[in-house]
Structure 1
Amino acid sequence: MFPINRGRRLRQTPEIRSLVRETRLDPSNLILPIFFDANINEIKYTASMPGVPTYPLSGYREILDDILGSGVTSVLVFGVPAKKDSVGSDAYSDTGVVQTAIRGLRAAQKEGEGLVIIADLCMCEYTDHGHCGVLREDGDVDNDPTVELYGKIAVSQAKAGADIIAPSGMMDGQIDAIRNALDCAGFQNTPIMAYSAKYQSAYYGPFRDIANSAPSCACHARKDRATYQMDPANRREALREISEDLDEGADIIMVKPAGPYLDVVREAADTFPVPICAYQVSGEFAMIKAAAANGWIDEERIMMESLIGIKRAGADMIITYYAKDAARMLKGIQ
Protein backbone atom coordinates (compact mmCIF):
# COMPACT_ATOMS: atom_id res chain seq x y z
CA MET A 1 0.00 0.00 0.00
CA PHE A 2 1.27 3.42 -0.97
CA PRO A 3 0.26 6.69 0.70
CA ILE A 4 -2.57 8.63 -0.95
CA ASN A 5 -1.22 11.93 0.34
CA ARG A 6 2.32 12.64 -0.81
CA GLY A 7 3.74 15.94 0.40
CA ARG A 8 6.65 15.57 -1.99
CA ARG A 9 4.36 16.17 -4.98
CA LEU A 10 4.47 19.89 -4.26
CA ARG A 11 8.25 19.95 -3.72
CA GLN A 12 9.36 18.55 -7.06
CA THR A 13 10.70 21.71 -8.72
CA PRO A 14 11.74 25.20 -7.68
CA GLU A 15 8.79 26.59 -9.62
CA ILE A 16 6.24 24.43 -7.81
CA ARG A 17 7.82 25.18 -4.44
CA SER A 18 7.60 28.89 -5.20
CA LEU A 19 3.99 28.56 -6.35
CA VAL A 20 2.82 27.06 -3.05
CA ARG A 21 5.14 29.00 -0.74
CA GLU A 22 3.29 30.33 2.31
CA THR A 23 5.68 33.03 3.49
CA ARG A 24 7.44 35.53 1.26
CA LEU A 25 10.05 38.17 1.89
CA ASP A 26 10.06 41.34 -0.14
CA PRO A 27 12.59 44.21 -0.12
CA SER A 28 9.74 46.56 0.77
CA ASN A 29 9.37 44.70 4.11
CA LEU A 30 13.01 45.27 5.12
CA ILE A 31 14.28 48.26 7.13
CA LEU A 32 17.99 49.07 7.25
CA PRO A 33 19.46 50.65 10.40
CA ILE A 34 21.98 53.37 9.48
CA PHE A 35 24.39 55.23 11.74
CA PHE A 36 25.75 58.78 11.54
CA ASP A 37 28.55 60.14 13.71
CA ALA A 38 29.08 63.86 14.13
CA ASN A 39 32.70 63.25 15.16
CA ILE A 40 34.07 61.65 11.96
CA ASN A 41 34.93 62.85 8.46
CA GLU A 42 34.94 59.52 6.66
CA ILE A 43 33.13 56.20 6.86
CA LYS A 44 34.28 53.94 9.68
CA TYR A 45 33.57 50.32 10.60
CA THR A 46 33.19 48.60 13.95
CA ALA A 47 34.85 45.21 14.49
CA SER A 48 31.85 43.61 16.19
CA MET A 49 29.54 44.59 13.29
CA PRO A 50 31.40 43.48 10.14
CA GLY A 51 30.45 45.44 7.04
CA VAL A 52 28.13 47.88 8.84
CA PRO A 53 29.28 51.45 8.11
CA THR A 54 29.03 54.50 10.32
CA TYR A 55 28.69 57.58 8.12
CA PRO A 56 29.89 61.14 8.59
CA LEU A 57 27.38 63.94 8.10
CA SER A 58 28.13 64.13 4.39
CA GLY A 59 28.00 62.03 1.23
CA TYR A 60 24.23 61.63 1.38
CA ARG A 61 23.78 61.05 -2.35
CA GLU A 62 26.24 58.15 -2.32
CA ILE A 63 24.49 56.69 0.72
CA LEU A 64 21.13 56.88 -1.05
CA ASP A 65 22.52 55.31 -4.23
CA ASP A 66 23.85 52.36 -2.22
CA ILE A 67 20.66 51.81 -0.23
CA LEU A 68 18.08 52.41 -2.95
CA GLY A 69 20.21 50.55 -5.47
CA SER A 70 19.92 47.42 -3.33
CA GLY A 71 16.12 47.59 -3.41
CA VAL A 72 15.74 48.75 0.21
CA THR A 73 13.29 51.64 0.60
CA SER A 74 13.19 52.16 4.38
CA VAL A 75 15.88 53.18 6.86
CA LEU A 76 16.04 53.59 10.64
CA VAL A 77 18.39 56.46 11.54
CA PHE A 78 20.66 56.47 14.62
CA GLY A 79 23.20 59.08 15.63
CA VAL A 80 26.36 59.56 17.68
CA PRO A 81 26.53 63.19 18.83
CA ALA A 82 29.50 65.52 19.07
CA LYS A 83 28.85 66.00 22.77
CA LYS A 84 27.01 64.20 25.53
CA ASP A 85 25.52 65.53 28.74
CA SER A 86 23.35 64.39 31.60
CA VAL A 87 20.07 65.23 29.82
CA GLY A 88 21.02 64.21 26.26
CA SER A 89 20.38 67.69 24.89
CA ASP A 90 21.71 66.86 21.41
CA ALA A 91 18.83 64.40 21.03
CA TYR A 92 16.27 67.21 20.86
CA SER A 93 18.43 69.88 19.22
CA ASP A 94 17.28 71.00 15.78
CA THR A 95 20.94 70.75 14.78
CA GLY A 96 21.45 67.34 16.41
CA VAL A 97 23.14 64.52 14.55
CA VAL A 98 19.96 62.62 13.61
CA GLN A 99 18.12 65.79 12.64
CA THR A 100 21.06 66.89 10.48
CA ALA A 101 21.32 63.47 8.84
CA ILE A 102 17.61 63.37 8.06
CA ARG A 103 17.75 66.81 6.43
CA GLY A 104 20.79 65.72 4.44
CA LEU A 105 19.09 62.58 3.16
CA ARG A 106 15.97 64.55 2.26
CA ALA A 107 17.95 67.22 0.38
CA ALA A 108 19.88 64.58 -1.57
CA GLN A 109 16.80 62.67 -2.73
CA LYS A 110 15.89 62.87 -6.38
CA GLU A 111 12.32 63.35 -7.51
CA GLY A 112 10.39 60.11 -7.40
CA GLU A 113 12.68 58.36 -4.90
CA GLY A 114 10.44 56.99 -2.17
CA LEU A 115 12.72 56.52 0.81
CA VAL A 116 10.93 56.05 4.14
CA ILE A 117 12.99 57.65 6.91
CA ILE A 118 12.29 56.35 10.42
CA ALA A 119 13.90 58.23 13.29
CA ASP A 120 14.95 56.24 16.33
CA LEU A 121 13.93 58.23 19.39
CA CYS A 122 16.00 57.53 22.46
CA MET A 123 18.57 59.22 24.67
CA CYS A 124 21.15 56.51 25.46
CA GLU A 125 23.48 57.65 22.65
CA TYR A 126 23.25 61.25 23.90
CA THR A 127 23.62 61.00 27.68
CA ASP A 128 26.99 60.86 29.40
CA HIS A 129 25.69 58.03 31.60
CA GLY A 130 24.34 55.89 28.75
CA HIS A 131 20.78 55.59 30.05
CA CYS A 132 17.60 56.32 28.09
CA GLY A 133 16.59 59.42 30.05
CA VAL A 134 17.42 61.78 32.88
CA LEU A 135 18.52 60.22 36.16
CA ARG A 136 17.22 60.47 39.70
CA GLU A 137 19.59 60.70 42.63
CA ASP A 138 19.45 56.92 43.08
CA GLY A 139 20.81 56.38 39.56
CA ASP A 140 17.58 55.14 37.98
CA VAL A 141 15.81 56.91 35.11
CA ASP A 142 13.23 59.49 36.16
CA ASN A 143 10.25 58.46 34.03
CA ASP A 144 8.04 61.56 33.79
CA PRO A 145 10.64 64.24 33.05
CA THR A 146 12.12 61.83 30.50
CA VAL A 147 8.90 61.42 28.53
CA GLU A 148 8.56 65.20 28.38
CA LEU A 149 11.94 65.30 26.63
CA TYR A 150 10.81 62.48 24.33
CA GLY A 151 8.06 64.79 23.10
CA LYS A 152 10.65 67.47 22.27
CA ILE A 153 12.82 64.92 20.45
CA ALA A 154 9.86 63.68 18.39
CA VAL A 155 8.91 67.17 17.26
CA SER A 156 12.49 68.03 16.28
CA GLN A 157 12.77 64.80 14.27
CA ALA A 158 9.45 65.39 12.52
CA LYS A 159 10.50 68.95 11.66
CA ALA A 160 13.70 67.57 10.15
CA GLY A 161 11.66 65.39 7.79
CA ALA A 162 11.24 62.01 9.49
CA ASP A 163 8.35 59.99 8.07
CA ILE A 164 7.93 57.84 11.20
CA ILE A 165 9.04 58.32 14.81
CA ALA A 166 10.26 55.19 16.60
CA PRO A 167 10.60 55.64 20.39
CA SER A 168 12.73 52.94 21.98
CA GLY A 169 13.16 54.07 25.59
CA MET A 170 10.46 51.86 27.19
CA MET A 171 9.28 54.62 29.53
CA ASP A 172 5.75 54.43 30.92
CA GLY A 173 3.41 56.76 29.05
CA GLN A 174 5.95 57.63 26.36
CA ILE A 175 3.60 57.06 23.41
CA ASP A 176 0.92 59.30 24.91
CA ALA A 177 3.46 62.08 25.51
CA ILE A 178 4.94 61.78 22.02
CA ARG A 179 1.54 61.63 20.31
CA ASN A 180 0.39 64.75 22.15
CA ALA A 181 3.60 66.61 21.34
CA LEU A 182 3.42 65.72 17.65
CA ASP A 183 -0.25 66.63 17.39
CA CYS A 184 0.23 69.97 19.13
CA ALA A 185 3.11 70.79 16.76
CA GLY A 186 1.00 70.07 13.68
CA PHE A 187 2.32 66.56 12.94
CA GLN A 188 -0.95 64.70 13.40
CA ASN A 189 -0.19 62.50 10.39
CA THR A 190 3.26 61.39 11.53
CA PRO A 191 3.03 57.72 12.59
CA ILE A 192 4.65 56.24 15.68
CA MET A 193 6.45 52.89 15.52
CA ALA A 194 6.60 51.87 19.17
CA TYR A 195 9.33 49.62 20.54
CA SER A 196 6.53 48.14 22.62
CA ALA A 197 8.13 44.85 23.66
CA LYS A 198 11.80 45.73 24.02
CA TYR A 199 13.57 43.20 26.18
CA GLN A 200 16.53 43.79 28.50
CA SER A 201 18.70 41.66 26.26
CA ALA A 202 22.35 40.69 26.00
CA TYR A 203 21.96 40.74 22.21
CA TYR A 204 22.50 44.52 22.02
CA GLY A 205 26.25 44.52 22.68
CA PRO A 206 27.58 45.21 19.17
CA PHE A 207 25.10 48.07 18.71
CA ARG A 208 26.47 49.69 21.85
CA ASP A 209 29.96 49.42 20.36
CA ILE A 210 28.85 51.46 17.34
CA ALA A 211 26.72 53.95 19.24
CA ASN A 212 28.92 54.17 22.35
CA SER A 213 25.74 53.84 24.38
CA ALA A 214 26.40 51.26 27.09
CA PRO A 215 25.27 52.31 30.59
CA SER A 216 28.18 53.95 32.37
CA CYS A 217 29.86 52.47 35.44
CA ALA A 218 31.75 55.70 36.12
CA CYS A 219 28.98 57.55 37.94
CA HIS A 220 26.03 56.80 40.20
CA ALA A 221 23.97 55.44 37.28
CA ARG A 222 22.70 51.87 37.34
CA LYS A 223 24.80 49.45 35.32
CA ASP A 224 21.88 48.01 33.36
CA ARG A 225 18.43 48.91 32.03
CA ALA A 226 16.46 46.26 33.88
CA THR A 227 14.08 48.76 35.51
CA TYR A 228 12.62 49.88 32.19
CA GLN A 229 13.36 47.25 29.55
CA MET A 230 11.42 43.99 29.81
CA ASP A 231 12.42 40.83 31.64
CA PRO A 232 13.31 38.17 29.00
CA ALA A 233 11.25 35.62 30.94
CA ASN A 234 7.93 37.45 30.39
CA ARG A 235 5.46 36.91 27.55
CA ARG A 236 2.12 38.14 28.91
CA GLU A 237 3.74 41.39 29.98
CA ALA A 238 4.71 42.03 26.35
CA LEU A 239 1.08 41.80 25.29
CA ARG A 240 0.12 44.24 28.03
CA GLU A 241 2.82 46.70 26.95
CA ILE A 242 1.69 46.46 23.33
CA SER A 243 -1.94 47.00 24.29
CA GLU A 244 -1.06 50.08 26.33
CA ASP A 245 1.01 51.57 23.49
CA LEU A 246 -1.86 51.07 21.06
CA ASP A 247 -4.27 52.71 23.49
CA GLU A 248 -1.90 55.68 23.69
CA GLY A 249 -1.73 56.11 19.91
CA ALA A 250 0.96 53.83 18.47
CA ASP A 251 0.46 52.97 14.80
CA ILE A 252 3.03 50.17 14.48
CA ILE A 253 4.35 47.98 17.28
CA MET A 254 7.68 46.24 17.56
CA VAL A 255 9.21 43.22 19.25
CA LYS A 256 12.96 43.45 19.95
CA PRO A 257 15.05 41.28 19.63
CA ALA A 258 13.38 39.18 16.97
CA GLY A 259 14.94 35.69 16.83
CA PRO A 260 14.84 34.79 20.55
CA TYR A 261 11.28 36.15 20.88
CA LEU A 262 9.45 34.64 17.91
CA ASP A 263 6.77 33.36 20.28
CA VAL A 264 6.03 36.98 21.25
CA VAL A 265 5.97 38.05 17.60
CA ARG A 266 3.49 35.27 16.81
CA GLU A 267 1.21 36.06 19.73
CA ALA A 268 1.30 39.78 18.99
CA ALA A 269 0.37 39.12 15.37
CA ASP A 270 -2.49 36.84 16.44
CA THR A 271 -3.78 39.31 19.04
CA PHE A 272 -3.47 42.79 17.54
CA PRO A 273 -4.77 43.78 14.07
CA VAL A 274 -1.98 46.31 13.49
CA PRO A 275 1.34 46.25 11.60
CA ILE A 276 3.95 44.24 13.48
CA CYS A 277 7.67 45.01 13.25
CA ALA A 278 10.49 42.82 14.57
CA TYR A 279 14.11 43.92 15.02
CA GLN A 280 16.84 41.41 14.17
CA VAL A 281 19.35 43.08 16.44
CA SER A 282 23.12 43.51 16.35
CA GLY A 283 23.91 40.41 18.39
CA GLU A 284 21.86 38.20 16.09
CA PHE A 285 23.66 39.68 13.06
CA ALA A 286 27.11 39.45 14.66
CA MET A 287 26.68 35.78 15.62
CA ILE A 288 25.81 34.84 12.04
CA LYS A 289 28.77 36.85 10.76
CA ALA A 290 31.17 35.23 13.25
CA ALA A 291 30.02 31.69 12.48
CA ALA A 292 30.26 32.37 8.75
CA ALA A 293 33.76 33.83 9.12
CA ASN A 294 34.82 30.55 10.76
CA GLY A 295 33.33 28.54 7.91
CA TRP A 296 30.77 26.88 10.16
CA ILE A 297 27.64 27.97 8.27
CA ASP A 298 26.46 29.16 4.87
CA GLU A 299 25.92 32.87 5.60
CA GLU A 300 23.48 33.60 2.77
CA ARG A 301 21.26 30.63 3.56
CA ILE A 302 21.26 31.35 7.30
CA MET A 303 20.53 35.03 6.63
CA MET A 304 17.49 34.23 4.50
CA GLU A 305 16.28 31.42 6.77
CA SER A 306 16.45 33.66 9.83
CA LEU A 307 14.50 36.42 8.07
CA ILE A 308 11.90 33.98 6.74
CA GLY A 309 11.49 32.65 10.29
CA ILE A 310 10.78 36.14 11.60
CA LYS A 311 8.30 36.81 8.79
CA ARG A 312 6.63 33.42 9.28
CA ALA A 313 6.20 34.18 12.97
CA GLY A 314 4.00 37.12 12.01
CA ALA A 315 6.20 40.17 11.42
CA ASP A 316 4.98 42.44 8.64
CA MET A 317 8.33 44.24 8.52
CA ILE A 318 11.83 43.43 9.73
CA ILE A 319 14.59 45.76 10.86
CA THR A 320 17.85 44.02 9.96
CA TYR A 321 21.49 44.85 9.24
CA TYR A 322 21.16 42.31 6.42
CA ALA A 323 18.52 44.41 4.64
CA LYS A 324 20.67 45.36 1.65
CA ASP A 325 22.15 41.87 1.20
CA ALA A 326 18.74 40.20 1.49
CA ALA A 327 17.10 42.73 -0.86
CA ARG A 328 19.79 42.18 -3.48
CA MET A 329 19.27 38.43 -3.30
CA LEU A 330 15.50 38.80 -3.59
CA LYS A 331 15.85 41.08 -6.61
CA GLY A 332 18.61 39.05 -8.20
CA ILE A 333 21.10 41.94 -8.02
CA GLN A 334 24.75 40.89 -8.09
Structure 2
Amino acid sequence: MMSLSPIETRVPCDGLEYPVLQAGADGPLVLCLHGFPDNYEGYRGIATELAAAGYQVVCPLLPGYAPANQRRDGGVHDALYVRDALIKLIETLLAERGQTRCFLVGHDWGSVIACLIAQKRPDLFVSLCAMSVPYGMSWRKIALRCPVYMLHAWYILFFQFKGLADAIIRRKGFRFLAWMLKFWSPKLESLAQMQRSVIATFSQPGVLAAALDYYRTSMFALTPKAFHIRALFNKTIEVPTLALRGELDVTMPSAVWEVVSPQAYPKGITLEVYQGAGHFIQYEQGPAIAQRLLQWFSQHPA
Protein backbone atom coordinates (compact mmCIF):
# COMPACT_ATOMS: atom_id res chain seq x y z
CA MET A 1 0.00 0.00 0.00
CA MET A 2 1.44 3.36 -1.01
CA SER A 3 1.15 6.48 1.09
CA LEU A 4 -0.97 9.43 0.02
CA SER A 5 2.03 11.60 0.89
CA PRO A 6 4.88 11.05 -1.59
CA ILE A 7 7.60 8.68 -0.44
CA GLU A 8 11.01 7.97 -1.95
CA THR A 9 11.76 4.36 -2.80
CA ARG A 10 13.33 2.24 -5.54
CA VAL A 11 11.85 0.06 -8.26
CA PRO A 12 14.01 -2.73 -9.73
CA CYS A 13 13.71 -3.19 -13.49
CA ASP A 14 15.86 -4.94 -16.08
CA GLY A 15 18.90 -5.16 -13.83
CA LEU A 16 18.72 -1.53 -12.69
CA GLU A 17 17.12 0.25 -9.74
CA TYR A 18 15.07 3.38 -10.35
CA PRO A 19 14.80 5.89 -7.51
CA VAL A 20 11.18 7.02 -7.58
CA LEU A 21 8.84 9.39 -5.81
CA GLN A 22 5.47 7.71 -5.42
CA ALA A 23 2.13 8.39 -3.81
CA GLY A 24 -1.31 6.84 -3.74
CA ALA A 25 -2.73 3.58 -2.44
CA ASP A 26 -5.10 2.55 -5.22
CA GLY A 27 -6.45 3.70 -8.53
CA PRO A 28 -5.12 4.24 -12.05
CA LEU A 29 -1.39 4.71 -12.50
CA VAL A 30 0.06 8.12 -13.44
CA LEU A 31 3.70 8.16 -14.53
CA CYS A 32 5.50 11.54 -14.37
CA LEU A 33 8.86 12.20 -16.06
CA HIS A 34 11.09 15.16 -15.19
CA GLY A 35 13.48 17.09 -17.41
CA PHE A 36 16.84 18.90 -17.35
CA PRO A 37 18.32 20.14 -15.10
CA ASP A 38 15.87 18.66 -12.68
CA ASN A 39 14.70 15.62 -10.73
CA TYR A 40 11.37 14.28 -9.51
CA GLU A 41 10.95 16.87 -6.73
CA GLY A 42 8.90 19.17 -8.97
CA TYR A 43 6.11 16.60 -8.95
CA ARG A 44 5.87 16.25 -5.16
CA GLY A 45 2.91 18.62 -4.73
CA ILE A 46 1.18 17.37 -7.86
CA ALA A 47 1.61 13.74 -6.75
CA THR A 48 -0.01 14.54 -3.39
CA GLU A 49 -3.09 16.06 -5.02
CA LEU A 50 -3.44 13.29 -7.58
CA ALA A 51 -3.09 10.62 -4.91
CA ALA A 52 -5.74 12.32 -2.77
CA ALA A 53 -8.05 12.15 -5.79
CA GLY A 54 -7.61 8.39 -6.15
CA TYR A 55 -4.61 7.90 -8.41
CA GLN A 56 -1.32 6.08 -7.95
CA VAL A 57 1.55 8.36 -8.96
CA VAL A 58 5.10 7.25 -9.77
CA CYS A 59 7.82 9.79 -10.64
CA PRO A 60 11.11 8.06 -11.50
CA LEU A 61 14.48 9.67 -11.97
CA LEU A 62 15.23 9.49 -15.68
CA PRO A 63 17.76 6.83 -16.72
CA GLY A 64 21.23 8.08 -15.86
CA TYR A 65 20.08 10.56 -13.22
CA ALA A 66 21.21 8.26 -10.40
CA PRO A 67 24.13 5.84 -10.17
CA ALA A 68 21.64 2.99 -9.64
CA ASN A 69 19.88 3.48 -12.98
CA GLN A 70 22.84 4.24 -15.22
CA ARG A 71 23.68 1.94 -18.12
CA ARG A 72 25.84 -1.04 -17.22
CA ASP A 73 26.98 -1.82 -20.78
CA GLY A 74 29.12 1.28 -21.28
CA GLY A 75 26.71 2.81 -23.80
CA VAL A 76 25.47 6.38 -23.83
CA HIS A 77 22.08 7.56 -22.59
CA ASP A 78 20.61 8.53 -25.94
CA ALA A 79 16.89 9.17 -26.38
CA LEU A 80 16.18 5.75 -27.90
CA TYR A 81 17.87 3.91 -25.05
CA VAL A 82 16.02 6.06 -22.50
CA ARG A 83 12.71 5.54 -24.31
CA ASP A 84 13.06 1.75 -24.37
CA ALA A 85 14.35 1.55 -20.78
CA LEU A 86 11.33 3.50 -19.54
CA ILE A 87 8.94 1.37 -21.57
CA LYS A 88 10.27 -1.62 -19.63
CA LEU A 89 9.79 0.28 -16.38
CA ILE A 90 6.22 1.22 -17.31
CA GLU A 91 5.42 -2.38 -18.21
CA THR A 92 6.82 -3.47 -14.84
CA LEU A 93 4.77 -0.89 -12.91
CA LEU A 94 1.58 -1.77 -14.77
CA ALA A 95 2.08 -5.51 -14.24
CA GLU A 96 2.64 -5.00 -10.50
CA ARG A 97 -0.72 -3.20 -10.31
CA GLY A 98 -2.64 -5.50 -12.60
CA GLN A 99 -3.27 -2.64 -15.03
CA THR A 100 -2.77 -2.41 -18.78
CA ARG A 101 -2.68 1.36 -19.38
CA CYS A 102 -1.66 4.49 -17.48
CA PHE A 103 -1.62 8.27 -17.75
CA LEU A 104 1.70 9.70 -18.92
CA VAL A 105 3.03 13.15 -17.94
CA GLY A 106 6.36 14.67 -18.96
CA HIS A 107 8.23 17.95 -18.63
CA ASP A 108 11.17 19.21 -20.73
CA TRP A 109 13.26 16.12 -21.61
CA GLY A 110 10.59 14.13 -19.80
CA SER A 111 8.15 15.56 -22.34
CA VAL A 112 10.40 14.60 -25.26
CA ILE A 113 10.83 11.06 -23.97
CA ALA A 114 7.15 10.75 -23.07
CA CYS A 115 6.24 11.67 -26.64
CA LEU A 116 8.70 9.13 -28.05
CA ILE A 117 7.31 6.46 -25.71
CA ALA A 118 3.71 7.25 -26.64
CA GLN A 119 4.64 7.28 -30.33
CA LYS A 120 6.12 3.76 -30.06
CA ARG A 121 3.68 2.19 -27.57
CA PRO A 122 0.33 4.05 -27.60
CA ASP A 123 -1.33 0.89 -26.31
CA LEU A 124 0.20 1.55 -22.88
CA PHE A 125 -1.44 4.94 -22.33
CA VAL A 126 -4.83 6.48 -21.74
CA SER A 127 -3.55 9.99 -22.43
CA LEU A 128 -0.41 12.12 -22.55
CA CYS A 129 0.46 15.48 -21.01
CA ALA A 130 3.54 17.18 -22.50
CA MET A 131 4.85 20.24 -20.67
CA SER A 132 7.21 22.98 -21.89
CA VAL A 133 8.65 21.12 -24.91
CA PRO A 134 6.49 20.28 -27.96
CA TYR A 135 6.43 17.33 -30.32
CA GLY A 136 5.50 17.13 -33.99
CA MET A 137 7.64 20.10 -34.98
CA SER A 138 9.80 20.47 -38.07
CA TRP A 139 13.30 21.77 -37.46
CA ARG A 140 13.26 23.17 -41.00
CA LYS A 141 10.08 25.13 -40.29
CA ILE A 142 11.52 26.39 -37.02
CA ALA A 143 14.65 27.63 -38.82
CA LEU A 144 12.54 29.40 -41.43
CA ARG A 145 9.77 30.84 -39.23
CA CYS A 146 11.61 31.25 -35.95
CA PRO A 147 15.34 31.72 -36.65
CA VAL A 148 15.71 33.46 -33.29
CA TYR A 149 15.17 30.05 -31.69
CA MET A 150 18.82 29.28 -32.39
CA LEU A 151 19.68 32.02 -29.89
CA HIS A 152 17.36 30.44 -27.34
CA ALA A 153 19.02 27.06 -27.98
CA TRP A 154 22.57 28.28 -27.36
CA TYR A 155 23.00 25.94 -24.41
CA ILE A 156 22.36 22.87 -26.60
CA LEU A 157 25.28 23.87 -28.84
CA PHE A 158 27.40 24.61 -25.76
CA PHE A 159 26.72 21.12 -24.39
CA GLN A 160 28.26 19.58 -27.52
CA PHE A 161 31.74 20.64 -26.35
CA LYS A 162 32.46 17.53 -24.33
CA GLY A 163 34.92 18.11 -21.53
CA LEU A 164 34.82 21.89 -21.71
CA ALA A 165 31.09 22.12 -21.05
CA ASP A 166 31.34 19.52 -18.28
CA ALA A 167 34.11 21.44 -16.55
CA ILE A 168 32.31 24.79 -16.76
CA ILE A 169 29.07 23.29 -15.44
CA ARG A 170 30.88 21.74 -12.46
CA ARG A 171 32.74 24.94 -11.50
CA LYS A 172 31.99 26.52 -8.13
CA GLY A 173 29.56 23.84 -7.00
CA PHE A 174 27.50 23.67 -10.21
CA ARG A 175 26.81 27.40 -10.19
CA PHE A 176 26.03 27.15 -13.92
CA LEU A 177 23.01 24.92 -13.22
CA ALA A 178 21.82 27.25 -10.46
CA TRP A 179 21.99 30.11 -12.96
CA MET A 180 20.08 28.14 -15.60
CA LEU A 181 17.25 27.43 -13.18
CA LYS A 182 16.97 31.09 -12.27
CA PHE A 183 17.14 32.22 -15.91
CA TRP A 184 14.48 29.76 -17.04
CA SER A 185 12.04 30.42 -14.17
CA PRO A 186 12.97 33.83 -12.71
CA LYS A 187 9.71 34.19 -10.75
CA LEU A 188 9.93 30.83 -9.00
CA GLU A 189 9.43 31.42 -5.25
CA SER A 190 11.06 28.13 -4.22
CA LEU A 191 14.10 28.68 -6.47
CA ALA A 192 16.74 28.26 -3.75
CA GLN A 193 15.24 24.95 -2.65
CA MET A 194 15.10 23.70 -6.23
CA GLN A 195 18.70 24.75 -6.85
CA ARG A 196 19.93 22.81 -3.81
CA SER A 197 17.97 19.71 -4.81
CA VAL A 198 19.11 19.75 -8.43
CA ILE A 199 22.75 20.33 -7.52
CA ALA A 200 22.58 17.40 -5.09
CA THR A 201 21.31 15.20 -7.91
CA PHE A 202 23.99 16.30 -10.37
CA SER A 203 26.74 15.94 -7.78
CA GLN A 204 26.29 12.16 -7.86
CA PRO A 205 28.78 10.11 -9.91
CA GLY A 206 27.97 9.87 -13.61
CA VAL A 207 24.82 11.99 -13.54
CA LEU A 208 26.12 15.04 -15.40
CA ALA A 209 27.68 12.94 -18.17
CA ALA A 210 24.49 10.90 -18.55
CA ALA A 211 22.27 13.98 -18.62
CA LEU A 212 24.43 15.63 -21.27
CA ASP A 213 24.29 12.42 -23.32
CA TYR A 214 20.64 13.22 -24.01
CA TYR A 215 21.71 16.41 -25.82
CA ARG A 216 24.91 15.12 -27.40
CA THR A 217 23.25 12.18 -29.13
CA SER A 218 19.94 13.70 -30.19
CA MET A 219 19.83 17.40 -30.98
CA PHE A 220 22.75 18.77 -33.00
CA ALA A 221 24.63 15.49 -33.37
CA LEU A 222 25.37 14.25 -36.91
CA THR A 223 25.30 10.50 -36.25
CA PRO A 224 22.84 8.13 -37.97
CA LYS A 225 21.09 7.49 -34.65
CA ALA A 226 20.66 11.23 -34.06
CA PHE A 227 19.11 11.65 -37.51
CA HIS A 228 16.77 8.75 -36.71
CA ILE A 229 15.76 10.31 -33.38
CA ARG A 230 15.01 13.64 -35.02
CA ALA A 231 13.01 11.89 -37.74
CA LEU A 232 10.75 10.45 -35.05
CA PHE A 233 9.47 13.96 -34.43
CA ASN A 234 7.68 13.74 -37.76
CA LYS A 235 5.73 10.65 -36.70
CA THR A 236 2.29 10.58 -35.06
CA ILE A 237 1.11 10.08 -31.49
CA GLU A 238 -2.04 7.98 -31.31
CA VAL A 239 -2.89 9.17 -27.79
CA PRO A 240 -5.03 12.16 -26.70
CA THR A 241 -2.53 14.86 -25.77
CA LEU A 242 -2.59 17.89 -23.48
CA ALA A 243 0.29 20.34 -24.06
CA LEU A 244 1.09 22.95 -21.40
CA ARG A 245 3.65 25.75 -21.52
CA GLY A 246 4.63 28.86 -19.59
CA GLU A 247 4.04 32.26 -21.13
CA LEU A 248 7.54 33.46 -20.15
CA ASP A 249 9.46 30.31 -21.11
CA VAL A 250 12.65 31.56 -22.79
CA THR A 251 13.69 28.07 -23.89
CA MET A 252 10.68 27.57 -26.18
CA PRO A 253 9.24 30.84 -27.55
CA SER A 254 5.64 30.84 -28.75
CA ALA A 255 6.75 30.77 -32.40
CA VAL A 256 8.19 27.30 -31.88
CA TRP A 257 4.82 26.02 -30.66
CA GLU A 258 3.14 27.58 -33.69
CA VAL A 259 4.93 25.17 -36.04
CA VAL A 260 3.69 22.11 -34.15
CA SER A 261 1.62 20.12 -36.61
CA PRO A 262 -1.86 19.04 -35.43
CA GLN A 263 -1.52 16.16 -37.89
CA ALA A 264 0.99 14.63 -35.48
CA TYR A 265 -1.91 14.07 -33.05
CA PRO A 266 -4.69 12.06 -34.75
CA LYS A 267 -6.38 11.64 -31.34
CA GLY A 268 -6.30 15.39 -30.75
CA ILE A 269 -4.08 17.93 -29.00
CA THR A 270 -5.08 20.67 -26.56
CA LEU A 271 -2.54 23.48 -26.04
CA GLU A 272 -2.78 25.75 -23.00
CA VAL A 273 -0.59 28.61 -21.79
CA TYR A 274 0.08 29.48 -18.12
CA GLN A 275 0.34 33.23 -17.80
CA GLY A 276 3.31 34.58 -15.88
CA ALA A 277 5.04 31.18 -15.74
CA GLY A 278 8.50 30.32 -17.01
CA HIS A 279 9.94 26.96 -18.00
CA PHE A 280 9.44 24.92 -14.82
CA ILE A 281 5.67 25.26 -14.66
CA GLN A 282 5.19 22.23 -12.41
CA TYR A 283 7.15 24.10 -9.72
CA GLU A 284 5.65 27.51 -10.41
CA GLN A 285 2.00 26.54 -10.77
CA GLY A 286 1.80 23.05 -9.33
CA PRO A 287 -1.68 23.29 -7.75
CA ALA A 288 -3.21 24.65 -10.96
CA ILE A 289 -1.54 21.96 -13.04
CA ALA A 290 -2.68 19.24 -10.64
CA GLN A 291 -6.27 20.43 -11.00
CA ARG A 292 -5.93 20.61 -14.77
CA LEU A 293 -4.58 17.07 -14.87
CA LEU A 294 -7.52 15.82 -12.79
CA GLN A 295 -9.89 17.46 -15.25
CA TRP A 296 -7.98 15.95 -18.15
CA PHE A 297 -7.99 12.48 -16.61
CA SER A 298 -11.74 12.67 -15.98
CA GLN A 299 -12.25 13.52 -19.65
CA HIS A 300 -10.16 10.52 -20.66
CA PRO A 301 -10.97 7.83 -18.06
CA ALA A 302 -8.84 4.72 -17.76
Is TM (by shorter chain) over 0.5?
Answer: no
Give TM-score scaled by structure 1 length: 0.38
Give TM-score scaled by structure 2 length: 0.41
Which structure would you say has the larger Rg?
1
